[in-house]
Amino acid sequence: MYARTALQAVLVFLFSFQLSFVFATPTLRTQGIARRAPTSASGYETNAKRFAAGLPPLPPKRRFTPSRVGVAARAPSAVPFSGFLRIDDFETGSNIGWVSKTLLGGQIRSTPGGGQNRLPISFNFVSSGTPFDMPISDGDDFHYLGAAGGSLTGPSTTNVNPVVRTNSIPAGSGPMNVGNSGADSGGPGASESVIWKYNPSGSEFTSEWVNPDFILIATYFYLSNGPGNRFLYISSNPDLGEPEEVTRVRVFLDLA
């Protein structure tokens, strides 16, 4: 009886010990060991490193940044004009005449009347600050209206350059020997054609001259004094006056 009781006690002890072992054993996760999220993105410059660290992939890089393509600015279109050159007194504004289509001694002169004696001209206008040459709309020699001569040395000069018919000369060039109507009659051999500027708001012409040293200088229109044949000139002096036997004039466009 005693032995049986002792055996039962041993069995109860072993059973209790086994139960305590089962409940004390921790349950291991079957999904692997959890990784600690990194506190900084440095060192994870590639997607492979980021995936291994449990980070999302890098945002895609933009290989091309489109930009708005602007339309190239167009050069202003030239506006054609044609007509006749009217000559008015600078001080009084009274009409003196028009540029004549006939020459005297190879020089451009004025005609007091209009009609068929006026010289027909044409030109292409771009802007008031852009000089141009002035084609003459007839069949005679030297097809541009320009001036002949040498240097004009500024507002104190007494020099004048006669307005003549000439061949075309590139813009910005000094006077060149390309042939002109005055040279055939013993006048200056060198001439320029791109001397004209135009202001459409007042229909008025101004002029400029490029000296042989390529210095650009503003010039003014003059008409020789006296009755009959009055010749047209340009000078860099704005006030030559009576001692030089010329009258300052303004030149306008009369539309054809």
> Which domains are assigned to the chain?
80-255 (2.80.10)
Run of H or E including 51: helix 47-52
- Closest listed residue to residue 204, CA positions, set 74, 44, 88, 124: 88
- Whether residue 187 contacts residue 107, with contact meaning beta carbons closer than 8 Å, is answered with yes
Please report how many Cα atoms fall inside a 13 Å half-sphere around the Cα of residue 194, on the Cβ side.
17
- pLDDT tens for the 256 residues of the chain, in order: 444 455 455 454 544 545 444 444 444 444 444 455 555 556 677 877 777 777 787 777 766 555 555 556 677 789 999 999 999 999 999 999 999 999 999 999 999 887 889 999 999 999 999 999 999 978 788 999 999 999 998 899 999 999 999 999 999 999 999 999 999 889 999 999 999 999 999 999 999 999 999 999 999 999 999 877 799 999 999 999 666 789 999 999 999 7
- pLDDT for 19: 41
Q: How far is CA 35 from the centre of its chain?
A: 66
DSSP category for residue 237: -
- pLDDT for 107: 95
- Whether residue 122 contacts residue 137, with contact meaning beta carbons closer than 8 Å, is answered with yes
- pLDDT for 52: 75
Q: Which residues, listed in sequence order, are joined to residue 144 by a DSSP beta bridge?
A: 135, 166
Left (φ > 0), alpha (ψ -120 to 50) or beta: where does 154 sit?
A: left
